[in-house]
Amino acid sequence: MGFTLRAALTALPTTAGITVAELMPAIVAWGKGPMAGIFGDCSDDPRVDIKVVDVRRLINSTKGAMTPSCSMSTMAPMA
């Protein structure tokens, strides 16, 4: 969420809106807590709307009003 979002904020115009779909609430909290130095203030940018939701459900609920432009998936081994 941090690196990709920062790149999108840099590349897109100030009139753009960016919706981030994050499946795990812990990742959002992590970005505002222990990893805030890396994430920076990206999540506080007024163009950003972070939703804790499955990206597929979010896209399906928009009825064509959203254009997905980037999808990242990080898979970590489960202990």
72 or 2, which is more confident: 2
pTM of the predicted model as reported, rounded to 2 decimal places: 0.74
Helix/strand/coil (H, E, C) string of the chain?
A: CHHHHHHHHHHCCCCCCEEEEECCHHHHHHHHCCCHHHHCCHHHCCCEEEEECCHHHHHHHCCCCCCCCCCCCCCCCCC
List pLDDT tens digits, range 28-71: 888 888 888 877 888 889 999 999 998 888 888 877 666 666 66
Domain that holds residue 19: 2-61
- Mean pLDDT for the chain overall: 80
Residue 34 lies in a domain: yes
Domain count, the chain: 1
Average pLDDT over residues 74-78: 53
Residue 27 lies in a domain: yes
